[in-house]
Structure 1
Amino acid sequence: MTLHRQLFLFTVFLVMILFLGVWVEKLQSTRSFLINQLESHAQDTATSLALSLSPVMAENDLPTIDTMINAVFDRGYYRIISLRDPDDKVITERTLKIEIAGVPDWFIDFISIKAPRAGALVMSGWTQAGTLFIESHPGLAYQTIWKTMIRISTYFVLAGSVILLLGSWGLKVLLKPLKQVEEQAEAICRREYQIQKVLPKTRELRLVVESMNRMTVKVREMFTRQAKIAERLRQKAYYDQVTGLGNRRYLTAQVGARLEAAKEEVNGALLMVQVANLQNINEAEGFESGDALLKNVGDIIQKETQILKDVALARLTGGDFAIFISQISSSDTIDLAEILMSKINRLATENSSSTNNLAYIGGVFYEHSPTLPQLLAEADSALQAARQKGPNKSFINPFSADKDTAVKGRTWWKQTLADVLQRKDIALFSQPVMNSRKQDEIVHQELLSRIILESGHFVSAAIFIPLAERLRMISKLDQVVLSRIFSAHEILSKMDTIAVNVSPSSLTDRFFVQWVISELAKLPGSYPHIIFEFPEFGAVQHLDIVKDFSKKVGELGHSIGLDHFGQSFTNFGYLKSLRPEYVKIDRGFTKELENDQGDSGFFIEALAGVAHSLDILVIAEGVERNEQVQMLLETNIDALQGYLFAQPQQLST
């Protein structure tokens, strides 16, 4: 029970006690007053009538006596008038039955007024001729008391209601700081750090609010320090300070993890951009000019690749940049290289102090999964070929022995995805996420989608999702996948929680969002809890719409999660507002643990610390060896996912 309610009920109790006390006291005083009035009224009448009857009694004129008594009885309001002789025998008597209109019987029984009987001697000369007894009728007294009590009760009800309303309002005003303290404490539990700027005037409450404000500031500073430590670790290990891109280690981790995860079902490209004559520029114009040039080239690379999905950008060393793009056709790779070269040439034109021969671009396009050293070697060879072509030239070399790579270009994939959408040839697979401490306990099942080609071959989401993004077919594809999941109630009802991958780009389609919310509302109560999983990079790019989507699905009992956590170079502050149910550490960092680099484990532990400070579950993905498990357990990871525990299994939907 709230303090406000307790104080309110206590106030009601006090008002009731006051009312009862006043009500009883008023009842008793009115009752005593009316009894005295009845006695006085009866005594005055008895004295007066006895004097009037004395001459008549001397003559023993009974008719006249009756007439006089009747006249008094009919004119007044008496219960009894009785004339008795000295032997107490009734000479004449008039009585009236006690019947009281307008007063309930329970009230009459409750107050029980007994009117006093008054008496007076009737004389005949100097001799007592009899005694006159008169008792007033209590009906008027009952009616007077009843009406008085009704008026008092009505007044108290009205006055009490006003007092209680004012008291309730006053308590709310007085206790508002405590309510704000409660909200502040709940906000801290949600890892939201609110400061009360308006302090209460009440000394005790003011001290409580000031203490809560100090604690909130300290907790917020703890989270900020923890996030900064993780950010510094990430920048130190994976960040190039000059360009804002990743470094060689970042590229190695990201590309290696992607190639290994995709196995044979992969195609993509690696481009290398080399700033020519960087050393000469540094010597002639200073290192600041050289760094500014590198920064400008890095900005161009970031800007021209920001619309692409699954991209890793890095500055390798000196003036060498690397661009890794998963799931891109050879023609798109060539187009990208030409666009980059055009932008860099424009940079050379704008910077008159720079040499006209500003850069070369060499790249390799592949269809079958190579190794990173192979890609770097092929890209370096292409870079040499670009140099031989002349200043500001590019050259793209296919890695695959199959020269007919254009067959699976944009047109082929567009038609293939259109056919898949028409036939709805989507297969669902599931892979469990295991509790890191109890590795036989499933935290949730992640549902993975595969498209089915006409040949019957399965194509993983790692391949077709980036292509669907570029072809602007992703929301339709996500809708088909979710439709299959929503309709698989019989199979999925055996699971407690499922995770479903959705592209953040799909959320820009308001019709898609409306459809998802509508379908969620139709799901039966036995359907499992759904976590909509978004890649961190895309979620940050579409932060507002992802937050809005999270709020909508949260109202229906579902939530969101983040995949590839730590991959983007985004400040972790967004977690405070987004509040996903879990984050999945990118497999690139998980894989690096095998190289026994101490700062990798320390970085993962820092990431976990940031997430745990917001009560966010931390999952490591891409776990394939027991050695990784042992290292991850030391970093406070909550759950694990990978081929070590189970490979994706097809659901028979």
Structure 2
Amino acid sequence: MSLLNQLTAAVFAVLIGLVSGTLYIMSDSSKEMLLHQLESHGQDTATHLGLYLAPYMADEDTAMIETTVNAIFDSGFYHKIEVTNADQKTLFSSTTPVIISEKVPQWFLKLVQITPPSMEREISHQWRKVGKIKVQSRAGYAYEQLWKGAEKTLIWFISLALIAVLSLSYLLRLILRPLKGVEEQATALSERKYVEQKQIPKTRELKNVVEAMNRMVRRVHLMFDEQSRHIDDLRKTAYQDNLTGLANQRSTQAQLCDWLDYRKEFGPGTCIYLHIPNLQALNEKFGEEKANNFLRYTAKQLENLSIRYQPNIVGRLSGADFIALIPETDEETIKCEITKLNHTIKTRADFENISPDQPAVHISVTQSTDDTSAAQLLSEARILVRQAAIEKTDIQFPEQFTGTQVASSSWQEHVANAINNKQVFLQFQKVLSSTEKKPLQRELLVRILNRENIPCTANEFIHVVKELGLIEALDKAVLERAIEYISHNPTSSPLTVNLTQQTIHTENFDKWLRRKLGKHPLKGKLNIEINETAVLNDVEHIVRFRDLLRKNSIGFGVDNFGIHPSGFSYIYAVQPDYIKIDGSLIREVDHSAEDRFFISSLITAVHSLGIEVYAERVEKQSQVEQLILLNIDGTQGFLHGRPEALV
């Protein structure tokens, strides 16, 4: 029961006690008064009747006595009238049963006992005693009068009590509103939301409580912000180039290895390698500040080109070398983009008079396939950029562009039919608890069976899915299969589905998902993950989507966490149930103290928000051992087994 209801009930109980006491006192007082009235009424009747009947009583004229008594008795105000002579012999007696109006309830009759007094009068005639007259008034009259008074009092009490309770409830609600705000603050704080009360009550005690709660909320919020800034500074120090803001050499190579050597999901790509010649000479001739400004400008232009494509990897490899890897683009488009990039940088160099006699930058363009390794990609790019430097040319394109891979119409038809008919093949990879080694969840990996019924990896068909505009259909097919599986296997460990940014932002997808979830109770058995980049592209929409999942008891996670240059302060607004640290940050955790310190700080900060932390792409036992020491909640990777079919 709420405090407001308790206070209202307490006041109401006091009012009931007060009115009960009042009613008792009033009833008792009224009862005494009515008894006195009945006593007086009986005495007066006996007196007047005696004056009239005295001669008849002396003559013992019973007929006249009976006639006179009956005339009075018929008025209905008397229970018994008895006339006796001097020898106590009854001359006449009349009694009527006790008749009480039906308006008086039986419980009231039992509660209030009224016995009218029997009044008597000695009668004398001509100086001698001739007898007595006894009169007892009827109790029904007293009961009726007493009940009328009690009933009226009860009606007034109930009416006034209702008005008082409603008024009191309203007043208490106003007075205690700050406490409701404090309750909401505490609830919000437990959900990692920081809410301050703007209206401070004037009541001293409530004012102190509200102000103390506001201070605590600000302090906790400040602690998290400071912790986030500290970890973001660590991330920048460890993985970001201080001058340009791009990923540094270590982070860039880790991402290339992760995408090309481990995941093998990048697909055919275009690599842009940019080299600034004679950087040392530029520093000496124009000064470090001017040279650094040119470096920053060059890096920004390369980044602007890259962010138009998803996914992308862009970073600084050394003082004078930059690299960007974007999805494969047709020859005409990439030549136009690179020419524009070179022209922009050259225009800035000419304006600064940095390199008037030679190219401001050398750019090489190479292409990668599904089988290209990170080392092979870098080697080919460096060879071409050296060739451009030797030939003193601005841009070095490959001798022959392979062109954008266009799938055959039969393969496109096969993929489209598989998706439209929801004939997708699902595999899963376990996320194991770091302490109990039991499955926390199973992340689903979508596959399509080729014509030989052999599962194809995502990079073999995903570009076809994108070309055909079937990304949303693919995501829906995976979700439907996952929901169907859970419905038939309610005791299995939770399944995790990765959704694309395109699907989440599709109109009416929320309604479709709400309808699907409404038909199948999946409490605690389904998780949905979204890539960190997709989260950062529209945090507000992701928050609304997260709320939808939470209302339906569906878990929400952020994938590839920790590598986006924007940092992770968004985690406060999004509040996922868990995050998965990107595999590129895990690769060297067993060898790099710097990586361990960063990951440890990140885990501590995220744990403080009540969010679980998992590590992706764990391949070695030594990595698991270090991650356990860093308080990781779970690990996922080939160390725990290859993907298995979901059956």
Q: Is TM (by shorter chain) over 0.5?
A: yes
Which of 475, 478, 481 is 2:478 aligned to?
481
In structure 1, the partner of 2:444 is: 447
Paired residues of 1:297 and 1:344 also in contact (CA < 8 A): no
Q: Secondary structure at the match of 1:432?
A: strand
Deviates more, 1:216-225 or 1:420-429: 420-429
In structure 1, the partner of 2:35 is: 35
**How far off is 1:155 after superposition?**
1.1
CA distance in 1: counterparts of 2:522 and 2:284, whole angstroms: 71
Q: Secondary structure at the match of 1:550?
A: helix
CA distance in 2: counterparts of 1:397 and 1:416, whole angstroms: 34
Q: Which amino acid aligns with 1:379?
A: A
**How far off is 1:125 after superposition?**
0.8
**How far off is 1:221 after superposition?**
2.0
Deviates more, 1:159-168 or 1:199-208: 199-208
In structure 2, the partner of 1:582 is: 578
**How far off is 1:568 after superposition?**
0.6
CA distance in 1: counterparts of 2:433 and 2:187, whole angstroms: 28
Q: Secondary structure at the match of 2:529?
A: strand
Q: Which amino acid aligns with 1:436?
A: S
Paired residues of 2:416 and 2:465 also in contact (CA < 8 A): no
Matched, 1:247 2:242: no
> Judging changes above 3 Å, is the alpha-carbon distance between structure 1 residues 385 and 451 closer, same or farther for their aligned structure 2 residues?
farther
CA distance in 2: counterparts of 1:471 and 1:298, whole angstroms: 34
CA distance in 1: counterparts of 2:277 and 2:332, whole angstroms: 20
In structure 2, the partner of 1:203 is: 204
Q: Which amino acid aligns with 2:224?
A: F
> Judging changes above 3 Å, is the alpha-carbon distance between structure 1 residues 431 and 581 closer, same or farther for their aligned structure 2 residues?
same
**How far off is 1:413 after superposition?**
7.9
> Judging changes above 3 Å, is the alpha-carbon distance between structure 1 residues 404 and 585 closer, same or farther for their aligned structure 2 residues?
same
Listed one character per residue, the Cα deviations across residues 203-257 of structure 1 (whole Å, up to 9, x for unaligned) are 2222222222222222222211221121011100111233221111111111112
**Tell me, which stretches of 5 or more residues in structure 1 are unaligned?**
none
**How far off is 1:4 after superposition?**
2.6
Q: Which amino acid aligns with 1:426?
A: V
Q: Which amino acid aligns with 2:498?
A: N
Q: Secondary structure at the match of 2:586?
A: helix
Which of 512, 529, 541 is 2:525 aligned to?
529
> Judging changes above 3 Å, is the alpha-carbon distance between structure 1 residues 149 and 264 closer, same or farther for their aligned structure 2 residues?
closer
In structure 1, the partner of 2:220 is: 219
Paired residues of 1:533 and 1:560 also in contact (CA < 8 A): yes
Map 1:295-374 to 2 at 5 A. 295-325=296-326, 328-329=327-328, 331-332=329-330, 335-336=333-334, 338-349=336-347, 352-354=351-353, 355=355, 357-374=359-376
Paired residues of 1:300 and 1:344 also in contact (CA < 8 A): no
Q: Which amino acid aligns with 1:100?
A: I
CA distance in 2: counterparts of 1:55 and 1:299, whole angstroms: 135
TM (norm. structure 1) is: 0.91
> Judging changes above 3 Å, is the alpha-carbon distance between structure 1 residues 292 and 409 closer, same or farther for their aligned structure 2 residues?
farther
CA distance in 1: counterparts of 2:468 and 2:394, whole angstroms: 30
Map 1:30-429 to 2 at 5 A. 30-75=30-75, 77-101=77-101, 102-262=103-263, 266-276=267-277, 282=283, 285-325=286-326, 328-329=327-328, 331-332=329-330, 335-336=333-334, 338-349=336-347, 352-354=351-353, 355=355, 357-387=359-389, 391-396=393-398, 407-408=405-406, 417-422=415-420, 424-429=422-427
In structure 1, the partner of 2:546 is: 550
Deviates more, 1:309-318 or 1:466-475: 466-475
Paired residues of 2:439 and 2:493 also in contact (CA < 8 A): no
Matched, 1:637 2:632: yes
Paired residues of 1:535 and 1:562 also in contact (CA < 8 A): yes
Q: Secondary structure at the match of 2:610?
A: coil
In structure 2, the partner of 1:497 is: 494
CA distance in 2: counterparts of 1:15 and 1:607, whole angstroms: 59
Q: Secondary structure at the match of 1:510?
A: coil
CA distance in 1: counterparts of 2:549 and 2:439, whole angstroms: 23
CA distance in 2: counterparts of 1:42 and 1:477, whole angstroms: 101
In structure 2, the partner of 1:514 is: 511
> Judging changes above 3 Å, is the alpha-carbon distance between structure 1 residues 156 and 410 closer, same or farther for their aligned structure 2 residues?
farther
Listed one character per residue, the Cα deviations across residues 369-422 of structure 1 (whole Å, up to 9, x for unaligned) are 344333212101122344466643241368xxxx96755569898666435434
**How far off is 1:318 after superposition?**
2.9
Listed one character per residue, the Cα deviations across residues 521-576 of structure 1 (whole Å, up to 9, x for unaligned) are 112x4676211111111221132222222111221111211111101112322111
CA distance in 1: counterparts of 2:463 and 2:303, whole angstroms: 17
Deviates more, 1:315-324 or 1:633-642: 315-324
Q: Which amino acid aligns with 1:576?
A: Y
Matched residues, number:
642
Paired residues of 1:537 and 1:567 also in contact (CA < 8 A): no
Q: Secondary structure at the match of 2:394?
A: coil
> Judging changes above 3 Å, is the alpha-carbon distance between structure 1 residues 397 and 314 closer, same or farther for their aligned structure 2 residues?
farther
Listed one character per residue, the Cα deviations across residues 44-82 of structure 1 (whole Å, up to 9, x for unaligned) are 111122122223434544433333323322346111121
Identity of aligned residues (%): 30
Q: Which amino acid aligns with 1:443?
A: L
Q: Secondary structure at the match of 1:501?
A: strand
Matched, 1:541 2:542: no
Q: Secondary structure at the match of 1:564?
A: strand
Paired residues of 2:116 and 2:139 also in contact (CA < 8 A): yes
> Judging changes above 3 Å, is the alpha-carbon distance between structure 1 residues 188 and 467 closer, same or farther for their aligned structure 2 residues?
farther
> Judging changes above 3 Å, is the alpha-carbon distance between structure 1 residues 404 and 299 closer, same or farther for their aligned structure 2 residues?
closer
Matched, 1:573 2:569: yes
> Judging changes above 3 Å, is the alpha-carbon distance between structure 1 residues 60 and 91 closer, same or farther for their aligned structure 2 residues?
closer
Q: Which amino acid aligns with 1:81?
A: I
Q: Which amino acid aligns with 1:578?
A: V
CA distance in 2: counterparts of 1:133 and 1:238, whole angstroms: 115
Listed one character per residue, the Cα deviations across residues 60-115 of structure 1 (whole Å, up to 9, x for unaligned) are 44433333323322346111121101222211222222111222333223212111
Q: Secondary structure at the match of 2:213?
A: helix
> Judging changes above 3 Å, is the alpha-carbon distance between structure 1 residues 75 and 371 closer, same or farther for their aligned structure 2 residues?
closer
> Judging changes above 3 Å, is the alpha-carbon distance between structure 1 residues 231 and 428 closer, same or farther for their aligned structure 2 residues?
same
Paired residues of 1:46 and 1:119 also in contact (CA < 8 A): yes
Q: Secondary structure at the match of 1:120?
A: strand
Paired residues of 1:358 and 1:391 also in contact (CA < 8 A): no
> Judging changes above 3 Å, is the alpha-carbon distance between structure 1 residues 423 and 23 closer, same or farther for their aligned structure 2 residues?
closer
> Judging changes above 3 Å, is the alpha-carbon distance between structure 1 residues 636 and 212 closer, same or farther for their aligned structure 2 residues?
same
**Tell me, which stretches of 5 or more residues in structure 2 are unaligned?**
none
Deviates more, 1:418-427 or 1:443-452: 418-427
Which of 618, 626, 643 is 1:623 aligned to?
618
> Judging changes above 3 Å, is the alpha-carbon distance between structure 1 residues 496 and 371 closer, same or farther for their aligned structure 2 residues?
closer
**How far off is 1:285 after superposition?**
5.0
> Judging changes above 3 Å, is the alpha-carbon distance between structure 1 residues 229 and 265 closer, same or farther for their aligned structure 2 residues?
closer
CA distance in 1: counterparts of 2:587 and 2:180, whole angstroms: 48
Q: Which amino acid aligns with 2:104?
A: V
**How far off is 1:191 after superposition?**
1.7
CA distance in 2: counterparts of 1:389 and 1:408, whole angstroms: 34
Matched, 1:649 2:647: no
> Judging changes above 3 Å, is the alpha-carbon distance between structure 1 residues 569 and 177 closer, same or farther for their aligned structure 2 residues?
same
Q: Which amino acid aligns with 2:564?
A: S
TM (norm. structure 2) is: 0.92
> Judging changes above 3 Å, is the alpha-carbon distance between structure 1 residues 278 and 570 closer, same or farther for their aligned structure 2 residues?
same
Q: Secondary structure at the match of 2:441?
A: strand
Paired residues of 1:311 and 1:324 also in contact (CA < 8 A): yes
Q: Secondary structure at the match of 2:508?
A: helix
Paired residues of 1:58 and 1:125 also in contact (CA < 8 A): no
Q: Secondary structure at the match of 2:640?
A: coil
Q: Which amino acid aligns with 1:649?
A: E
Q: Which amino acid aligns with 1:645?
A: H
Deviates more, 1:618-627 or 1:296-305: 296-305
Q: Secondary structure at the match of 1:290?
A: helix
CA distance in 2: counterparts of 1:143 and 1:24, whole angstroms: 17
Paired residues of 1:605 and 1:635 also in contact (CA < 8 A): yes
